[in-house]
Amino acid sequence: MAQTRYPKTPREEQPEASPATSPDERIDSAETGARGPFSRRQFLRGSAAAGAASAGLLSGILDDAEAQDEPGVAGPGAVDMAFKINGKAYVATLEPRVTLLDALRNHLDLTGAKKVCDRGTCGACTVLLNGDPVYACSVLAIEAQGSEVTTVEGIGSPANMHPIQQAFVDHDAQQCGFCTPGFVVASAALLNRHPNPDQDTVHRELGGNLCRCGTYAGIRAAVAQAAGGGTTNG
Partner 1 sequence: MRAFEYSSPRTAEDAIRMLSAEGAVALAGGTDLLSLMKDGAAAPSRLVNLKAIPDLTGAHETDGGLHIGATTRLGPLGEHRVIRESFPAVAQAIAGVRSRQVLSMRTVGGDLLQRPRCWYFRAGFGLVPMHDGQSMAKTGDNRYHAIFGNAGDAVFVNPSSLAPPLIALGASATVLGPDGERTVRVEDLYRTPASSDESEFTLGAAEIVTGVTIPMRSSRNATYEIRNRKGFDWPLAAASVAASDGGARVVLGHAAPTPWMSAAAAGALAGGISEASAEAAGDAAVADAAALSGNGYKIQLARVAVKRAALAAM
Residue 187 as a binder of partner 1 (CB under 8 A): the answer is: no
Q: Which stretch binds partner 1 (CB under 8 A): 1-9, 82-90, 150-158, 223-231?
A: 1-9
Rounded to whole angstroms, how far apart are CA atoms 87 and 49?
A: 7
Nearer to partner 1, 157 or 207 (CB): 207
- The answer to the question of residue 234 lying near partner 1 (CB under 8 A) is no
Report the residue number, 80 or 205, with the smaller CB distance to partner 1.
Answer: 205
Q: Which stretch binds partner 1 (CB under 8 A): 56-64, 85-93, 161-169, 221-229?
A: 56-64
Calculate Rg over the CA atoms of the chain. 19
Distance CA 121, CA 208 (A): 7
Pairing of strands 79-85, 148-150: parallel
For residue 96, what are the contacts with CB-CB under 8 A and spacing of at least 6? 74, 75, 76, 79, 140, 142
Whether residue 168 contacts residue 212, with contact meaning beta carbons closer than 8 Å, is answered with no
Exactly one of 17, 49, 53, 61 binds partner 1 (CB under 8 A); that residue is: 61
- Give me the half-sphere count of Cα atoms (radius 13 Å) on the Cβ side of residue 109: 2
Region binding partner 1 by CB under 8 A among candidate stretches 4-12, 44-52, 82-90, 107-115: 4-12
Which of 126, 150, 151, 180 is in the footprint of partner 1 by CB under 8 A? 126
Helix or strand or coil: residue 121? coil
Residues that bind partner 1 (CB under 8 A): 1-3, 5-6, 8, 24, 26-27, 29-36, 55-59, 61-62, 65-66, 70-77, 95-97, 99, 118-121, 123, 126, 129, 132-135, 137-140, 142-143, 186, 189-190, 203-208, 210
